[in-house]
Structure 1
Amino acid sequence: MFSRGSINTLHSMIICYVLGTLIAKAIKLPSNRRGIFAATISISNTLFVGLPVNVALFGDSSIPFVFIYFIANMSLFWTIGAYGISRDGGRKGNIFSKENLKKMVSPPLCTFIIAVILIFLEANLPKFLMDTFKYMGNMLTPLSMLYIGITIYNIDFKEMKWDKSMSLIVIGRFVISPLLVFFLCSSVVMPVLMKKVFIIQSAMPAMSVTSVLAEAGGGDHKYAAIVTTMTTIATLLFLPIYIILLSKV
């Protein structure tokens, strides 16, 4: 059940990425923005924004499902996504390069793997460790809210010029992506909570590290920063709509 759910979410991201790539070419988006465009439509910020949002909506029981989506999301971002963004700057390289694979082994993923191993082993950690981890975990939501606030505060509205690509990103990120997840997950028997978490995760803003990769690869990093900010603000507008819709699922 969990594996099929994760595979279906990965399928939805790949479909969105291919769709984003085709749309970028169809609207003749500058070549230094195409990888950013495709990655933004298909890949979301599932940890710093997605985790606290899901915990706030569904409680701690949503955390395992958040990380199932996170693994698929991060795997796609640090392979196809990172490769596409690097090509924006005219670079050529292997999608499964050593550098990309190293980036996949991030602290959140390592922590999740260790936690799964401990759960399967039914290991009981000392109380002082469990209390420490609990306190640290409780810090995530307020820190994430601070992160979102800082991102919005640093917006330079003079540089935010709305164009066709922005409209398509909003449609792709907040309409097409969640709908794909909904239809693909409906074909699999899974808990209702799992489906709701996946839908919310698919409607989160763009990855904040997108602009960093764009700058490192020679792409249009200012465009990436504006897109990240714009999708973060759009999340605040679309989230109440999804909360209402999911209450009827």
Structure 2
Amino acid sequence: MKEVMIIVYQISILTLLGLIGFIAGKTKYLAENAGTVISKVVIKLTAPLLIFITLAGRELDIKKISNIGWVYLLGIIFLLIAFVFGGLISRVMRLEEATSNIYKMHSMFGNVIYLAFPLLSSLYGDDGLFYAVIFGIVNDTLLWTLGIFLVNKHEKSSLKENLKRMINGNTIALSLGLIVLIIKTILGESVNNIPYLSNVSGFIYDTFHMLGSTTFPLSMLFIGLILSETKIEKVSDLLKRAHIFVLSLFRLIILPVLAMFILAVFGKSIDPIARYVIILELAMPCGTIVPALAAEYGSDYRSATENVFITTILGIFTMPLIVYWMQSLIK
């Protein structure tokens, strides 16, 4: 029960931050392009710095390396399972091709940075954020390959062009952070004996940490601004979109519960926090980047926006349930 109260408290804080962004957007207190600007600041600046300091500020051991491998491998497996189920559900519900492709994307790709990073950091500290970064790389690997293929099926785009998108601030920060992490692990305590290195590295770390930590509130403001731009003419029209609620049930409940039982039975050798992170990442609402990609490639961005809107609202209530079940099942 204590863990549930913690997540309710943390989600309440994040929800309030999102509400501030929503009000600022609805009242036009912030400019219409504020969400776009904040998104670019997060993705291109603060999130890369957060990823870098999360990795560079740690040291590896054999058990940690094993857990990283499990998070990456299981992340790939569960996201591909989500893709298959999304395809089956969209076929049963006879969705049009563009809507079906968005449906498959949102079955796979959740809000693994904007919402997951601040939530997992508040729940499990640096360890939670560390594994969340690894899962984020899994998400990006599939997003910029399979995801781009789905959203861009009506156009011809080479695999080379899609892979180029994987070279960005986040992957560069990941690479640099891993290099520092490996060097620190190899050298161990002898790193501290290098003259002035400790002072310089501490100064850089504190600076990057100060800016990187703004990722959390900025992310929630961005989500609020995005939701404020969602135009729902009639609630009754939205309630008729049964496929969105089926998607919500699958993303917010079925997929994480499936992962929960599999990890409880077969994942006992994996760090519990790593397992918690995988489950909660899979329980996140639909990813906010998908509507932006859909708009960019001329796909069904309206359906994508509705998916984000509904799952984000419902996710506020489902995530505490997932944490309660998860803490009861996995020790």
TM-score (norm 1): 0.91
Name the aligned partner's letter for residue 77 of structure 1: L
1:197 aligns with 2:277: yes
Maintained 8 Å contact 1:8/1:181:
no
**Residue equivalent to 1:153:** 228
Shift of 1:184: 4.0
SS at 2:97's partner residue? coil
Unaligned stretches of 5+ residues in structure 1: none
- For 1:85-104, list aligned pairs within 5 A: 85-87=151-153, 90-94=154-158, 97-104=159-166
8 A Cα contact 2:110 2:286, kept in partner: yes
C-alpha distance in 1 between matches for 2:183 and 2:214: 27
Partner of 2:172: 110
How is 1:1-249 mapped onto 2 (pairs within 5 angstroms)?
A: 1=66, 2-87=68-153, 90-94=154-158, 97-122=159-184, 126-158=201-233, 161-162=238-239, 163-186=241-264, 187-188=266-267, 189-248=269-328, 249=330
Quick one: distance in 2 between partners of 1:180 and 1:107? 33
Matches of 1:204 and 1:128, distance apart in 2? 35
* Counterpart-to-counterpart distance in 2, 1:133 and 1:180: 38
1:9 and 1:69 in contact (8 A); partners too: yes
What residue ranges of structure 2 are gaps of 5+ in the alignment?
1-65, 185-190, 192-197
Moved more, 104-113 or 150-159: 150-159
C-alpha distance in 2 between matches for 1:73 and 1:131: 28
Secondary structure, in 3 states, of the residue corresponding to 2:98? Answer: coil
Assess, with a 3 A threshold, how the Cα gap between structure 1 residues 117 and 180 changes in structure 2: closer, same or farther.
farther
CA-to-partner distance for each residue in 1:21-49, whole Å, 9 max, x for gaps? 12212211011111110110111121111
Give the distance between the partners of 2:258 and 2:78, measured in 1 at CA: 6
Alpha-carbon contact 1:13-1:177 (below 8 Å) kept: no
Shifted more, 153-162 versus 202-211: the winner is 153-162
SS in 2 for 1:207: coil
Quick one: structure 1 residues 71 and 159, their matched pair in 2 at CA, closer, same or farther if it must change by over 3 Å?
A: farther
How many correspondences in the alignment?
Answer: 245
Deviation larger for 195-204 or 227-236: 227-236
CA contact (8 A) 2:253 2:318 kept: no
Q: Distance in 1 between matches of 2:291 and 2:270?
A: 35
Structure 2 vs 1, CA of residues 144 and 93 (structure 1 numbering), >3 Å: closer, same or farther? closer
Give me the whole-angstrom Cα distance separating, in 2, the residues matched to 1:21 and 1:31: 11
Report which of the two has the higher share of helix.
Answer: 2
Distance 2:296 2:209 in 1: 36
> Which structure has the larger Rg over C-alpha atoms?
2
What amino acid sits opposite 2:143 in the alignment? Answer: F
The answer (yes or no) to whether the contact 1:8–1:184 under 8 Å persists in 2 is: no
User: Which consecutive aligned stretches of 4+ in structure 1 deviate over 6 angstroms post-superposition?
Assistant: none
Once the two structures are aligned, what percentage of the paired residues are identical?
Answer: 24
